[in-house]
Amino acid sequence: MTTTQAATGEPQTPTLTLTAAFEGIEGSYSHAVLEEYAARRGVKFVPVGCASYRAVAHAVLSGKADLGLLPIDNAIAGTIREGYDVLAEYELDLLAEITWRMEHKLLGVPGATLEGLREIDSHPVVLMECGRFLGTLPDVRRVPVPDTGIAARDVAEARDPARGAIASAAAAERYGLIELAHTIADHPDNFTRFILFRAPNAQGLAADFEPAENFAVRKTSLVFSVADSPGALGRCLSIIGEHGLNVSKLDSKTRLGASGQSSFYADVDGDVRDERFADALRALRSVTVALNVLGTYDASSAPPRVRRAPAVVVDVAPPIPPAPSAKTAFPKATRQDADARSRVMVGDIAVGDGHFVVVGGPCSVESREQILATAESVAASGAVMLRGGAFKPRTSPYAFQGMGWEGVALLAEAGRATGLPIVSEVMSVEQVERMAASVDVLQIGARNMQNFDLLKAVGKTERPILLKRGMAASIDDLLSAAEYILAEGNPNVILCERGIRTFETATRNTLDLSAVPVLRERTHLPVMVDPSHGVGVRRWIGPLCRAAKAVGAHGLLIEVHPNPIEARCDADQALTFADFARIMDELARIPSI
Ligand code: PEP
Ligand code: MN
């Protein structure tokens, strides 16, 4: 520990300088966390890189470092057991929780390309956080290494364009790497929680360092064990609850070396020095076989999470007509009994059966800026999924055919950046497998509704399917097409009315809203409506959205573009961001049935 002076000899406000241990080398996330935290607190940390979590604790306890930092959990990968276990094993004075958004980049040496990669190195937890993105690169080996700084450094030193590293933008800069892909974590709420600590009887400046930014927000971490018996965990939680304390994290594992016992990692809001908390711990001791209080720390710096519109759940069930009788050509699609309604889950979003969802996005993915801006805007307005075509079925072979796989990758990036599941059209049997690896919902377009080979192929996947009604297809034809998918074993079919061809020329198609109540009566499958293709004219989309919701659609598919007149596909029907936001507000006033 030292105090620094400006090199000019000018007297300056002394800056507290402390040594801080972390796992890894400079350029790792832990290092970035320490730097940012020090800057925020107006102190300076001299980094002490360590080879393991345990070595971080040793560095602090032996006086080699004033402070230590360890990660304890990640929003995607879950509890980082080793972090908790080291904090539990050694007596340490926990100071603060630091929550850090992990903005992972795929890095390579200059000249490397995504297509050319054969190996990707990173910390094992980070590899897990990017599971969906890595799933789209089946030929690339994933290599776990001790930390992301090491991954970046080793790739830079190897100068091999076939090797990539997942690390931060700061690591890219430090080791001279280029970014091959951004926003590659599965979800934007990708926070890792780190704990800053010191030795229990720290002396000198380490003892004086005051980490709390706000004493009002404190958290306490515990590890407790109970015998595997009915009600044992319930008793512990009741005690905590009865003392007015909130459990903000709970995770379990088998207690090693003690048969028939389980251990629980718990974070409880509050400070052990509070009387209420102390009482709760006393009571907890009498019902646990082991209780280890890791410590109380400042928890005031948790960042906000990504905004997500709440799902609309309807609690008034409409009167249900009698189920159709006996024989049918579509036994799996037919609603067999009065209250059978399927709910298709897209991630944690339910479609159908009382839930009303809106999917927004451009007709086609045109650029990174376009799809990211649209994704952010529709998410902020309350859309729960993002649409965008990468393979476009165009009437003319000379029209823009879509960005293809590059478009799929950009759409996937926009989905990860906003946390919105993505919907995109698959046009051929050959595309199905690769598409299913990247997108959350496979769309079958109107022109392909009776491409039976394609229906069978998507029926063999586990992805939800958005099946659009063909423009010259009857309701029976649509149900038969759905039956093809269901018959292959994929139960996750969402139907979509998108307008049919009639003699009317005032609108692009004729949006057959009467299909909604008919389908709700005849099938248990969710029914969505696409007013964009149905009417084809921007200013009439709002009224049809409201009508579709009022008539019982389970959701809407709406085209939105940052600059509609410039859209490369379906420009006349694309909504501006402002139009979309207004329509979402209007929809909120209409009850769904
Ligand atoms: C689309 O959704 O962009 C599309 C091509 O729709 P449809 O298949 O209904 O014409
Ligand atoms: Mn379109």
Pick the CATH number of 213-304 from 3.50.50.60, 3.40.50.12160, 3.30.70.260, 3.40.50.1820: 3.30.70.260
What's the CATH superfamily of 356-588?
A: Aldolase class I (3.20.20.70)
**Ligand 1 centre from 424 Cα, in Å?**
10
Q: Express each pLDDT in 344-403 by its tens digit.
A: 999 999 999 888 999 999 999 999 999 999 999 999 999 999 999 999 999 999 999 999
- Across 12-162, the runs of DSSP E, i.e. the strands, are 15-23, 44-50, 67-74, 78-79, 93-101, 105-108, 119-122, 141-144
**One-character DSSP codes across 462-507:** SS-EEEEPPTT--HHHHHHHHHHHHHTT---EEEEE--B--S--SS
* Contact status, residue 298 vs residue 256, Cβ threshold 8 Å: no
CA–CA dist 445, 423 (Å, integer): 12
Residue tagged 């029209």 (tokens)? 399
Ligand at shortest distance from the CA of 561: 2
- 208 band by pLDDT with thresholds 50, 70 and 90: confident
**Residue 387 CA, closest ligand 1 atom number:** 2
pLDDT over 50 (residue 165): yes
Is residue 441 in contact with ligand 1, taking CB distance under 6 Å? no
**Residue 392 CA, closest ligand 1 atom number:** 5
Task: Report the pLDDT value the prediction gives residue 304, as an integer from 0 to 100.
Answer: 62
Is residue 393 in contact with ligand 1, taking CB distance under 6 Å? yes
In 3D space, the residue among 54, 71, 60 whose CA is nearest the CA of residue 20 turns out to be: 60
**Residue ranges of the chain assigned to CATH 3.40.190.10:** 1-99+190-209, 105-185
pLDDT over 90 (residue 485): yes
346-368 burial, b if ≥16 CB within 10 A, otherwise e? Answer: bbebbbbbbbbbbbbbbbbbbee
CA–CA dist 364, 379 (Å, integer): 17
Collapsing DSSP to helix, strand or coil, 262 comes out as strand
Mean pLDDT of 502-508: 96
- What's phi and psi for 359, nearest 5 deg? -110, 125
Is residue 359 in contact with ligand 1, taking CB distance under 6 Å? no
Task: Report the pLDDT value the prediction gives residue 327, as an integer from 0 to 100.
Answer: 67
* Contact status, residue 362 vs residue 567, Cβ threshold 8 Å: yes
Structure tokens at 302: 């948790």
Mean pLDDT of 443-470: 97
Is residue 508 in contact with ligand 1, taking CB distance under 6 Å? no
Q: How far is residue 380 from each of residues 190, 307, 532, measured CA to CA in Å?
A: 18, 7, 20
Pick the CATH number of 1-99+190-209 from 3.30.499.10, 3.50.30.30, 3.40.50.20, 3.40.190.10: 3.40.190.10
Closest CA to ligand 1's atom 8: 445
Q: In whole numbers, what is the pLDDT of the chain averaged over residues? A: 91
- 320 band by pLDDT with thresholds 50, 70 and 90: low
- 256 band by pLDDT with thresholds 50, 70 and 90: confident
Q: Which of 374, 427, 468 to mutate to test the pocket of ligand 1 (most atoms within 8 A of CB)?
A: 468
Positions annotated as catalytic residues are 192, 194
Closest CA to ligand 1's atom 4: 445
Q: Express each pLDDT in 92-120 by its tens digit.
A: 999 999 999 999 999 999 999 999 999 99
Task: Report the pLDDT value the prediction gives residue 343, as an integer from 0 to 100.
Answer: 93
Q: Express each pLDDT in 562-590 by its tens digit.
A: 999 999 999 999 999 999 999 999 999 99
Q: Which of 363, 371, 541, 557 to mutate to test the pocket of ligand 1 (most atoms within 8 A of CB)?
A: 363
Closest CA to ligand 1's atom 9: 446
Is residue 445 in contact with ligand 1, taking CB distance under 6 Å? yes
Q: What is the CATH number of domain 105-185?
A: 3.40.190.10
Task: Report the pLDDT value the prediction gives residue 353, as an integer from 0 to 100.
Answer: 80
Is residue 498 in contact with ligand 1, taking CB distance under 6 Å? yes
In 3D space, the residue among 511, 502, 568 whose CA is nearest the CA of residue 536 turns out to be: 511
Rg (CA), the chain: 28
- What's phi and psi for 420, nearest 5 deg? -85, 130
Q: Express each pLDDT in 35-72 by its tens digit.
A: 999 998 889 999 999 999 999 999 999 999 999 999 99
Maximum C-alpha span of the chain = 94
Is residue 469 in contact with ligand 1, taking CB distance under 6 Å? no
Collapsing DSSP to helix, strand or coil, 55 comes out as helix
**Ligand 2 centre from 528 Cα, in Å?**
16
